[in-house]
Structure 1
């Protein structure tokens, strides 16, 4: 992993604990992006004529990496685009369970459209809170972040499997932006019906690309109205025969940004997602232990047996400025300071942070 740090020049200048805000772009990805644009610059439409096969290749690569069938995955600019498209195809009579203080791009689209809404809290008893809310309100849809952006609380996948087993008609709609790229994941084997993500964070793919996955059996519950010429593969006669996921791809597809996602996935596969997962999990466990010893975490995080690689530590703006002066890059979030760890971070990064905090 140490050699991989050379792929990210920013690590020679800073202790970068801010992937939860913005992932790094590798030297190899920058090189590929330059080659792509030079080819477009030199050959214009001759180069662009190849884009359909390129997009198919990208979609296949993403589907393989995330364990989704080709008819279950779409390439789109970001998670918000996908969710808003999805919600235009959901009956407004649906009752939806949301989490209080979840990421606004999850809750706001539902709230904006007048669905019947119910809420439960994010705390150390998150899974029990959800069970009670489902029993009380009988929602049709449960929409949530797999990992919370403010404090890193992560929903237990075993719990989600149990929830789906007991409530098979409950549509599980998940945001994986703070999750995908942190551990091995297989969509087809998961209990989640709909999963989307922007890919500029843990997947290290840069901005302007995302994925949206919807299981075949869940597609019958959704009737998206979004459409464009690309949805029909630029064939006039295909308007009434558009495949379901193509409703999420109505316009021109950008081979630079989506190609960046493919290259980022290939890079992660070359490293080995099992190794990435293990490195992140090991460092995150040590971080939780050290932060707990220093009394820096909220009770809701300390009391949970499992946690993600994102932490919100106690601290004010003065401490945040001090960390910046010490070239530690993180973010102010809610009432604390958010730090996050990827495979390119080290125990030395953690210990340097803890030395300042203590």
Structure 2
């Protein structure tokens, strides 16, 4: 991984424990983006066919990477935009279950409409309590983040798969922004009906690109009125024959922005998602163990068998400033300091952070 770390100039400035805010730009992606714009500068409209191919290839790449049928992939500028388009097509009679304090763009999108919304507290036994609520309250839609933005709480993916088997009519919708790119994932065998994600965090693709993945069931549950010439591939005859996922792409898409997503996925595949998954699992286990020893994690997180690589440690603004003064990139979230680690981090960096934290005890 040391060779790969050299791709990321920011790592020479300090310890980057802030991927949950923004995934790093890297040298080879920047080179690709510059070459793309240079081609556009020189060729102008002659770039059109090449640009269309980039968009098409990006859709195929996203589908392959997450094992989702190509025709069920929508390319969107970000998760929030895609979700709002989708919810305009969902019947307001649906009963929705949300997790309290989940990402605002997720919860607000439901709360701002006429759905019957109920909530569940994030607790160590969250999965068991979700199952109970769905049974007793006859929930139609479960919507939650696969990894919680505030503290890295990770939902059990096997639980979602079993939940869908037991409740085939339940619509499971997830925000994958703090998850996608951190570990291998098989959408078509996950039991999830809708996964939306912005790609500027763990997929390292820069701002302005994201995607929505849909199960085959979804098109029967939503009525999407979004439309545009691009959705019909610029063909007048296709106005009334636009597939479900393409309705999320009414206007032209940027080959620079979405080509960056394709480039990053290709970059991840060159490294190997098995290696990235294993690396992040090791980093997560290391960080959890060390922060637990210092008493910096809540019991809710400590008692979970599985966790992500995002941690919200018990720390005030003084500790936050101390970390910043020691060139640690991190963020204040809620009542603590959030630290997040990706495959370009090292166990030695976690040790260095622990050493800094111990000086304040």
Within a 5 Å distance, the mapping from 1:73-84 to structure 2 comes to 73-84=73-84
Q: Indicate whether 1:136 and 2:136 are aligned.
A: yes
Q: Deviations over 1:218-240 (max 9, x none)?
A: 22111111111111111122111
Per the TM alignment, residue 62 of structure 1 is displaced from its structure 2 partner at its CA by 1.0
Contact 1:62 1:265 in 2 (8 A): yes
| Structure 2 Cα separation of the partners of residues 282 and 339 of structure 1 | 15
Contact 2:144 2:175 in 1 (8 A): yes
| Structure 1 Cα separation of the partners of residues 39 and 17 of structure 2 | 35
* Equivalence for 1:35: 35
| Structure 1 Cα separation of the partners of residues 288 and 53 of structure 2 | 45
| Structure 1 Cα separation of the partners of residues 226 and 312 of structure 2 | 38
Contact 1:194 1:214 in 2 (8 A): yes
| Structure 2 Cα separation of the partners of residues 294 and 53 of structure 1 | 52
- For structure 2, the 5+ residue unaligned runs are none
* Equivalence for 2:157: 157
| Structure 2 Cα separation of the partners of residues 122 and 91 of structure 1 | 27
| Structure 2 Cα separation of the partners of residues 272 and 313 of structure 1 | 30
* Equivalence for 1:119: 119
* Equivalence for 2:259: 259
Query: How many pairs are equivalent?
Result: 358
Contact 2:78 2:211 in 1 (8 A): yes
Contact 2:74 2:249 in 1 (8 A): yes
* Equivalence for 1:172: 172
* Equivalence for 2:333: 333
Within a 5 Å distance, the mapping from 1:192-231 to structure 2 comes to 192-231=192-231
* Equivalence for 1:44: 44
Contact 2:89 2:223 in 1 (8 A): yes
Per the TM alignment, residue 139 of structure 1 is displaced from its structure 2 partner at its CA by 1.2
* Equivalence for 1:96: 96
Per the TM alignment, residue 71 of structure 1 is displaced from its structure 2 partner at its CA by 1.0
- For structure 1, the 5+ residue unaligned runs are none
Per the TM alignment, residue 356 of structure 1 is displaced from its structure 2 partner at its CA by 0.9
Contact 1:71 1:216 in 2 (8 A): no
Contact 1:118 1:137 in 2 (8 A): no
Q: Deviations over 1:133-186 (max 9, x none)?
A: 112211111000000000111000111112111111000001100001111111
Contact 1:17 1:328 in 2 (8 A): yes
Contact 2:99 2:121 in 1 (8 A): yes
Q: Give me the CA root mean square deviation.
A: 0.8
Per the TM alignment, residue 54 of structure 1 is displaced from its structure 2 partner at its CA by 2.0
SS in structure 2 opposite 1:231?
Answer: coil
Contact 2:76 2:212 in 1 (8 A): yes
SS in structure 1 opposite 2:107?
Answer: helix
SS in structure 2 opposite 1:40?
Answer: helix
Contact 2:152 2:311 in 1 (8 A): yes
If the length of structure 1 is used for normalisation, what is the TM-score?
A: 0.99
* Equivalence for 2:182: 182
SS in structure 2 opposite 1:178?
Answer: coil
Per the TM alignment, residue 52 of structure 1 is displaced from its structure 2 partner at its CA by 2.0
If the length of structure 2 is used for normalisation, what is the TM-score?
A: 0.98
| Structure 2 Cα separation of the partners of residues 307 and 70 of structure 1 | 30
* Equivalence for 2:316: 316
